[in-house]
């Protein structure tokens, strides 16, 4: 006699869902609610003064702008790195594959100190750029370098399994039908990779928005110039301005959630369109 229901390895839906919601609430929802509860203690005037001051607006522009650019660059070069690791066999490939995960394992403070030393005017890389008037450490460009460094693995590790699953026969068929390399990439490969690439971009973008350790060392942290929102929040906490820090955090949470929701919606629509075609 056949079983009427499929046997599940894990416990039933209700028990599994209960544990999932409990863990999600304990780890994610309660801290977020605490942030909004702390912000709710402020009057609208105090909240606006803390969240919309010129210093805060400058930090928002730098954080979101540089994080977006860093994630965009990682989307391009992360795809290239993942493609090389999957499609080619060469000496040092395993070492290169391991280096991709280095930003995951390396403490962000160590990464910030290392990047600042390398790109300083007297550093190994900075001394070659200094004669051309190009300064990286303690500038906005240094913030961009740090956020690019910590975001690359998210794109590579998201796209890499999808490239491995691509069928080479599809590319060969496109070439047989007369498509050149660019047409094959644009019409065959990119549509299959785009949902995963968009996911990697979203992960890198979200990671960059919350980065603190590496940026604080390579940036001069000057208000209205090189100060990002996490550094501004830490500055307010050091001044015991917990309400002001909570207001900034609440703004970052809301804006980040809306941006990630829009990206996920675009990813869902793209994946659905790809399945239909």
pLDDT higher than threshold 80 for residue 273? no
- Return the higher-pLDDT residue of 40 and 141: 141
pLDDT band at 37 (very low <50, low <70, confident <90, very high): confident
pLDDT band at 5 (very low <50, low <70, confident <90, very high): low
Cα separation, 275 vs 66, in Å, equals: 33
Highest mean pLDDT: which range of 1-10, 118-127, 184-193: 118-127
pLDDT band at 57 (very low <50, low <70, confident <90, very high): very high
* Residue range 142-164, pLDDT digits in tens: 999 999 999 999 999 999 999 99
The answer to whether residues 84 and 94 touch, using CB atoms and an 8 Å cutoff, is no
Per DSSP, which regions of the chain are E strands?
none
Per-residue model confidence (pLDDT) at position 166 = 84
Instruction: State how far Cα 7 lies from the chain centre.
Output: 38
pLDDT higher than threshold 60 for residue 2? no
- Return the higher-pLDDT residue of 9 and 59: 59
pLDDT higher than threshold 50 for residue 1? no
The answer to whether residues 137 and 119 touch, using CB atoms and an 8 Å cutoff, is yes
Mean of the per-residue pLDDT values of the chain? 86
pLDDT higher than threshold 80 for residue 69? yes
Cα separation, 76 vs 55, in Å, equals: 32
Cα separation, 116 vs 114, in Å, equals: 5
pTM of the model: 0.86
Per-residue model confidence (pLDDT) at position 6 = 59
- Ordered by where they begin, the domains of the chain are 44-276 (1.10.3720.10)
Helices (H), 130-228: 140-165, 168-176, 181-184, 190-209, 215-218
* Residue range 71-82, pLDDT digits in tens: 999 999 999 999
> Among 219, 229, 226, 238, which residue's Cα sits nearest to residue 112?
219
Cα separation, 36 vs 242, in Å, equals: 12
The answer to whether residues 179 and 186 touch, using CB atoms and an 8 Å cutoff, is no
pLDDT band at 201 (very low <50, low <70, confident <90, very high): very high
């Amino acid at each position: 006699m056949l079983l009427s229901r499929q046997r599940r390895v894990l416990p039933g839906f209700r028990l599994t869902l209960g544990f999932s919601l409990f863990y999600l609430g304990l780890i994610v929802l309660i801290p977020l609610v605490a942030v909004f509860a702390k912000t709710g203690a402020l009057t609208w005037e105090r909240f606006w003064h803390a969240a919309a001051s010129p210093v805060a607006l400058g930090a928002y522009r730098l954080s979101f702008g540089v994080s977006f650019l860093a994630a965009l660059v990682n989307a391009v070069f992360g795809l290239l790195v993942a493609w090389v690791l999957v499609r080619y066999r060469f000496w040092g490939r395993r070492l290169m594959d391991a280096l991709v995960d280095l930003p995951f394992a390396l403490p962000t403070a160590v990464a910030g100190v290392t990047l600042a030393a390398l790109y300083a005017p007297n550093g190994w890389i900075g001394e070659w750029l200094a004669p051309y008037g190009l300064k990286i450490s303690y500038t906005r460009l240094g913030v961009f370098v740090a956020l690019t460094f910590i975001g690359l693995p998210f794109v590579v590790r998201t796209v890499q399994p999808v490239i491995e699953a691509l069928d080479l026969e599809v590319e060969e068929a496109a070439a047989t039908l007369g498509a050149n390399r660019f047409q094959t990439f644009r019409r065959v490969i990119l549509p299959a990779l785009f949902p995963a690439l968009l996911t990697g971009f979203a992960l890198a973008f979200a990671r960059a928005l919350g980065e603190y350790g590496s940026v604080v060392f390579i940036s001069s942290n000057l208000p209205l110039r090189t100060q990002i929102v996490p550094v501004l929040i830490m500055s307010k906490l050091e001044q015991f301005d917990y309400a002001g820090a909570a207001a900034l955090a609440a703004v970052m949470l809301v804006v980040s959630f809306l941006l990630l929701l829009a990206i996920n919606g675009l990813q869902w629509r793209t994946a659905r369109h790809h399945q239909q075609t």
